[in-house]
Structure 1
């Protein structure tokens, strides 16, 4: 193994030395009086518990050649909501032959202050439980005793992992659902094993040292290996708190991961585990669930009506073929693309998994003469696939890439409410791998079209002083998808929900225009009647009969991971209110114009009057699908302004 190369790579990782002072002893696992007496964490007053110190150490045992990991943690319980931190769950790989992963030397203590004295409560062996969790894992669980608000718990254990599982060296999480003051991980990796090492989460290491230890591992017959010894640490790590507009937490939790690249035996054998994409492409070409299925020819007359077979190839005919597959084959809600993929069974049963349905669509379009390729995707909840080296298990979804006249379209026939050139929101995960078994695969950026919402309200004040008129709306992209799916699944429930979401407004004569379950635009219109709030001769009116955001979705003090909307979008609302002969405007809303840094988002609000008619325009533009964490305080302020404008804009009318 090229140890110096790894050292150079790791030394390039950024480091950070600043660390805030606290009364807690974050320098060791020893519990101090200050740890027990201190019952607040000023840096995060919302925290219900705090990891004061944690340390892990992994090495290959020189006698058993098993990967051995020792872990120790010291945690402060700040409130009752943090009591669950006293329960530890360890998932262990089941036996394979006579070998298996196991945990040993579980030790734990709870420290409490009682009448001015420190009372220790030891973990008993009878409180350690093992169960059969599933077909792959056993579960070992233990709970520290005598937990109270203010308790400090300390526990440790040793994991023993057999050599056959060392394809995945023990990774380490620096970040958790509660804050961490200090987290350190030591590793010793014999030169026989060469790993791809990846730091995830974007946080900086406080400690990052690498050294080489000579002859750290010896085997019978005189074989010896040097070891790469590393120490990684982070300090003052905030809790990871989930919030709206994010993909899976696995994309952002600060941690170090390992994947075996090459194993070199003492007998001279070399086994490569991580390959280049050209090697993976060859394997996928012969894979029974991918390449073998993609190569199957289709008798078009067994699947398509004769009219679609005879039509010339065009975007319009491709859309009709796509719609035919949507309507006639049902997704079984399973995401498999490397398991149980069979277009033969799909044609027979009319139901199948993602791989089967979209490979069928691919093969039909290919048979018809269209230029199509499969696109491997990792869904938003599955995490971003790594681009550093091929990891085929990172992918769990497949869609069809279609090219017509130099225009690219992405298709997914699993959902009966998707439009042509629209893939599910779960697939909007920035990029995928476009397969081409002749020219070689390549990365492909997933860039959905912008989605828009338009509302136009034309209203007037009737003889009773009520505001009546018509609202017309238009939605495109994913906004249209969400509404047409809700509407065409249950029209009466949709209209009832529309009425319930517009308090103090009565809705009647609802109808849709040129809409269908897969039409890319969802148009609707309905009549409204609003009984105004009248005080004496004055009427106070909030002109927003439709609100885009009822509250600010961003509530964290700070957010360390991106704000991922999935797609760019805009919101438009216009109002024309004819006051007639009864009222006149004596005060109208103040205009608002604000934007995000670099014009990455715009809020525009203005009003005008002419001939006793109020005209109002409200527009929101989000010009990015994904915003970096640096935008969070600005987005939070931006959304506050949006909510404030919608909730607190008042028009004061006076009777003539």
Structure 2
């Protein structure tokens, strides 16, 4: 047995080392594989993932950044079909653009014991202009089935060599084999920063290279013209980082994660400075001071803050007779929100100038919030731009220009900084859009100094729900409901309610609570941001209790109860992000069916998270033919450290258990 085991071990090692990753060399074993060996839940897996990014010199264009991609993916079931679709974003400006070349793709299937190839054709490739700054090449591999292997390769040529896409080493599906390489000439000095909990250490090396210049000189003589050809050669070396990984586990989405990509293993290369022969060193990003200086001195940022002529007369008229600084701020904030519509584009730089955005009543994030900042400065307020990295963009842990993709406004008051974002119609002071609630922003002052500021709100957002209910002996429920929302909960509600036809909004509510019929629906203060949003209605709904013999069983929370713990992982290494502190309060008065009395009811209880992170209070009181229920569920902080994960998981288990405990009635 020992000899046989040894032979199997040796053969397995041989097969692994002999695996052919050349394009088109898909093996029968790969096609026959039914599930990923170490993660049977995976719907697909990268069998091979290869990326090489390097610089090449073109005599007419200078240095160009080239990225070559080769990926082979195994599809185990229908959920994995999505990996047959690939989108390639391509950045562009008015002068230059990235292009895709050499795109090839195949789908491989095992049909009656033979490998069948299906080639990616032109009708499976789609080129789209996504915006002013991006094009997209998208392709869909053909003939996808459960068990298919798909493979594709392509090359991106980019003139934007200062912007190297992140090297990602972890995804939501596992990776069997990953190889990656980044090569840059000695003239380009990049700063590397890693992220994620999977340790990845590159192998560093140097490699000699050279550039050959072909010269052509025309010689004009008295009677004849001749051409002389010559070559010049420049020698240099490349700095090379290589990565070689095997069996990389998947890192899957979990509830309350601001952006799972922040925690997947990756390496980012950002250009720190260039040092060409016979030229001065040019810095891009080395320290935060460098970053701030570079951004502020961009004509589409700092210069725009100094312009006021286009709005002065309008703001003077708007603030006529107003002396209170905060009243001035409120009026200007509402004025910008009402008069300049956000076009949906993120940026920290103005697109075509604030004057044009003001005249045309539309602009990107920077157009709107830099304009707001300039107006507030004009009336004497200490207002400054605040750089933000949105949730989808990640967290800038190191000095980086690319790490910020958004800008808001901050008013520096004596004891606080008031944060404003005029792109959102229903945002209020310190009630920012959810997309911006991402750890810390960096405020940039006129003096050139900068500082980190917390973007998460400190004020608790509340939702108070009061219900007066009547339960009948068939388990049906009718009643009146009133909810009052403040802070971010109010903002979220306004966005949804005001952006939807009311009839559709009611229909969505009825579908949410399957079988509910809603009448007398009303909403107050949907556009008055200074007051809480108040929603009220009357409703009826069937099948809210179980009838067994002469007893009735029901949870007093009915359709509001939580049924499933959102936290399922045994261990969690990344923070739990709730976005903002919250308080959900339920007050129920339930009239029992005539002739029934309470046999048993849940006991009141209180759960407490450590360090005052949150609490859950559950109180049930039986008062004759009525049950009174009060629940107060608080999360006091926007972010919970993973060191509290076990406590949080246990807390939610206790909360769900309490909310699902039943009241039992019997006929008297």
TM over 0.5: yes
**Contact (CA 8 Å) 1:484, 1:517: kept in 2 or not?**
no
- Residue of structure 2 equivalent to 1:54: 49
When the two structures are superposed, what TM-score results if normalisation uses the length of structure 1?
0.78
Residue 564 of structure 1 deviates from its aligned partner by: 2.8
**Contact (CA 8 Å) 1:62, 1:217: kept in 2 or not?**
no
- Residue of structure 2 equivalent to 1:173: 168
- Residue of structure 2 equivalent to 1:402: 411
Instruction: For 1:469 and 1:130, locate their aligned partners in 2 and report how far apart those are by CA, in whole Å.
Output: 55
Residue 309 of structure 1 aligns to a residue whose secondary structure is coil
* 20, 31, 36: which one aligns with 1:29: 20
Stretches of structure 1 that go unaligned for 5 or more consecutive residues are: 1-20
Structure-2 change in CA distance of 1:113 and 1:22 (3 Å): farther
Instruction: For 1:86 and 1:516, locate their aligned partners in 2 and report how far apart those are by CA, in whole Å.
Output: 44
Residue 453 of structure 2 aligns to a residue whose secondary structure is strand
Structure-2 change in CA distance of 1:173 and 1:476 (3 Å): same
**Contact (CA 8 Å) 2:284, 2:290: kept in 1 or not?**
no
- Residue of structure 1 equivalent to 2:221: none
Cα deviation digits, residues 102-121 of structure 1 (max 9, x gap): 75696979474854xxx456
Instruction: For 2:509 and 2:104, locate their aligned partners in 1 and report how far apart those are by CA, in whole Å.
Output: 56
Instruction: For 1:96 and 1:415, locate their aligned partners in 2 and report how far apart those are by CA, in whole Å.
Output: 28
Instruction: For 2:57 and 2:191, locate their aligned partners in 1 and report how far apart those are by CA, in whole Å.
Output: 23
- Residue of structure 2 equivalent to 1:76: 74
Residue 391 of structure 2 aligns to a residue whose secondary structure is coil
Residue 366 of structure 1 aligns to a residue whose secondary structure is helix
Report how many residues are paired: 626
Residue 424 of structure 2 aligns to a residue whose secondary structure is coil
Structure-2 change in CA distance of 1:321 and 1:458 (3 Å): same
**Contact (CA 8 Å) 2:556, 2:662: kept in 1 or not?**
yes
Cα deviation digits, residues 59-94 of structure 1 (max 9, x gap): 567999876666554443423554565677767789
**Contact (CA 8 Å) 1:94, 1:101: kept in 2 or not?**
no
- Residue of structure 2 equivalent to 1:272: 283
- Residue of structure 1 equivalent to 2:587: 574
Instruction: For 1:143 and 1:472, locate their aligned partners in 2 and report how far apart those are by CA, in whole Å.
Output: 49
**Contact (CA 8 Å) 2:124, 2:140: kept in 1 or not?**
no
* Counterparts of residues 113-192 of structure 1 (less than 5 Å): 114-115=112-113, 119=114, 134=129, 149-152=146-149, 159=155, 161=157, 165-169=160-164, 172-192=167-187
* 417, 426, 448: which one aligns with 2:426: 417
**Contact (CA 8 Å) 2:520, 2:538: kept in 1 or not?**
yes
Alignment RMSD (CA, Å): 4.7
* Counterparts of residues 71-110 of structure 1 (less than 5 Å): 72-82=70-80, 85=83, 103=101, 110=108
Residue 303 of structure 2 aligns to a residue whose secondary structure is helix
Residue 446 of structure 1 deviates from its aligned partner by: 0.4
- Residue of structure 2 equivalent to 1:375: 386
Between stretches 448-457 and 540-549, larger displacement belongs to 540-549
* Counterparts of residues 355-370 of structure 1 (less than 5 Å): 355-370=366-381
**Contact (CA 8 Å) 1:28, 1:53: kept in 2 or not?**
no
Residue 621 of structure 1 deviates from its aligned partner by: 2.3
- Residue of structure 1 equivalent to 2:464: 454
Cα deviation digits, residues 471-529 of structure 1 (max 9, x gap): 44322211112224444555555455545545566655555566643135223444566
**Contact (CA 8 Å) 2:292, 2:448: kept in 1 or not?**
no
Residue 554 of structure 1 deviates from its aligned partner by: 5.5
Residue 587 of structure 1 deviates from its aligned partner by: 0.9
Residue 265 of structure 1 deviates from its aligned partner by: 2.4
Residue 453 of structure 1 deviates from its aligned partner by: 1.5
Residue 296 of structure 1 aligns to a residue whose secondary structure is coil
When the two structures are superposed, what TM-score results if normalisation uses the length of structure 2?
0.76
- Residue of structure 2 equivalent to 1:198: 193
Cα deviation digits, residues 8-48 of structure 1 (max 9, x gap): xxxxxxxxxxxxx9998377435666545432224322323
Instruction: For 2:115 and 2:137, locate their aligned partners in 1 and report how far apart those are by CA, in whole Å.
Output: 23
Cα deviation digits, residues 331-365 of structure 1 (max 9, x gap): 34444542435443454444444333333332332
Residue 195 of structure 1 deviates from its aligned partner by: 0.6
* Counterparts of residues 617-628 of structure 1 (less than 5 Å): 617-627=630-640
Instruction: For 1:24 and 1:538, locate their aligned partners in 2 and report how far apart those are by CA, in whole Å.
Output: 66
Residue 148 of structure 1 deviates from its aligned partner by: 5.5
Structure-2 change in CA distance of 1:172 and 1:111 (3 Å): farther
Cα deviation digits, residues 550-579 of structure 1 (max 9, x gap): 665567788775443321212121324465
* 541, 544, 548: which one aligns with 2:557: 544
Stretches of structure 2 that go unaligned for 5 or more consecutive residues are: 1-11, 214-231
Structure-2 change in CA distance of 1:593 and 1:233 (3 Å): farther
Residue 25 of structure 1 aligns to a residue whose secondary structure is helix
Structure-2 change in CA distance of 1:375 and 1:470 (3 Å): same
Instruction: For 2:139 and 2:185, locate their aligned partners in 1 and report how far apart those are by CA, in whole Å.
Output: 33
